[in-house]
Amino acid sequence: MPRLEDVRDALAAFPPFRERVGAYGRTEEKLDTLQINIGLKCNLACKHCHVESSPTRVEEMSRETLEQCLKVYRDRGFSTIDITGGAPEMNPHYEWFLREAVRAGARVMTRSNLVVYDEPGYAHLPELWAELGIVVIASLPHYVKKTVEKQRGAGVFDPAIAQLQRLCELGYGKGEGAGPGGTTLELDLVFNPNGAVLPPDQGALELEYKQRLAEDFGIVFDNLFVITNAPGGRFGRRLLQTNNMTKYMNKLIGAFNPDTLEGMMCRSQLSVRWDGALYDCDFNQAVELSCLNGLTIADLARDPSLPLARDIAFANHCYACCAGAGSS
């Protein structure tokens, strides 16, 4: 399997993305989202995973680092905490952190592969999400079983559908006031293409998902986010291994849309790796492209005067976020 260095070298051979960004090469002065990757362990090993999560990964964020994240959230006026992984639920401090983040006043989003709840010790989490009003962003690469299991592995589709049905029973995806005590519980799904292809139009695919999932399984949800596979991490290695990197990059570059630059997620967030290292986004985590001159979340927690606004660290995997309608 090609190394990370091989992926970076291959990407560097294409026209520099940073030359395309114009006036959008710097973050907003006020950041909205603190994205926190709390660990790389996952019960799945999906082919498209840019952070290369799997059951064998052991990296996880410590409670001390999570406390530093909370302090920076409170000190710097973020409004949203976006919890990701891996399967973030597998971090032993996950439940404590959910409660503390809600107590701090954050709009809390958690990413989920939906099938971790079949593992011992996790079955109760959907009820906890509903209790706390957590926004759930769940990966469902398609509404057809064969397509999903080709990408994520055998036996994952039926449990994912069962968990979505369970979330709907709790009031998720059903609109304003449908949750416990009249709360509104947001359920969003994420689509990734299966392979080295560009995704379809988000609006049209969302309508298709909503129709098929409702008709076939009685599932409702709020939004579908269509994500272009970034050519880094496990997916980037696979592109090199199968001699598809050049073809895929040419597709991304050919589909570059300057209208997507203003809305790039890196312009309004700060991303924290499991060890406290700082990045513009988790795609940059995958290629080890750090920001803020190597500062860590511990540095920011110690010194609230350190600036967060910054020049963004771009590389050519960033073409994925600006292809077509964009996927930030």
Structure token pair of residue 180: 């416990």
Residue 21 lies in a domain: yes
Q: C-alpha angle with apex 192: 189 to 194, nearest 5 degrees?
A: 140
Rg (CA), the chain: 19
Number of domains in the chain: 1
Mean pLDDT of the chain: 95
Q: Which amino acid is at 128?
A: L
Residue 235 lies in a domain: yes
Residue 327 lies in a domain: no
Residue 239 lies in a domain: yes
- Across the range 265-284, mean pLDDT stands at 97
Q: Tens digits of per-residue pLDDT, 87-127?
A: 999 999 999 999 999 999 999 999 999 999 888 999 999 99
- For position 54, which CATH number holds? 3.20.20
Distance CA 253, CA 29 (A): 29
Domain that holds residue 163: 4-322
Residue 328 lies in a domain: no
Q: What is residue 245's predicted lDDT score, i.e. its pLDDT?
A: 97
Q: Tens digits of per-residue pLDDT, 17-57?
A: 999 999 999 999 999 999 999 999 999 998 778 899 999 99
- Burial class (CB within 10 angstroms; exposed 0-12, middle 13-18, buried 19+) of 142: buried
Residue 296 lies in a domain: yes
Stated pTM of the model? 0.95
Q: How many helices (H) and strands (E) does the chain have?
A: 11, 8
Residue 280 lies in a domain: yes
- Reply yes or no on whether the pLDDT at 328 is more than 70: no
Residue 172 lies in a domain: yes
Q: Tens digits of per-residue pLDDT, 151-202?
A: 888 889 999 999 999 999 999 999 887 777 888 999 999 998 888 999 999 9
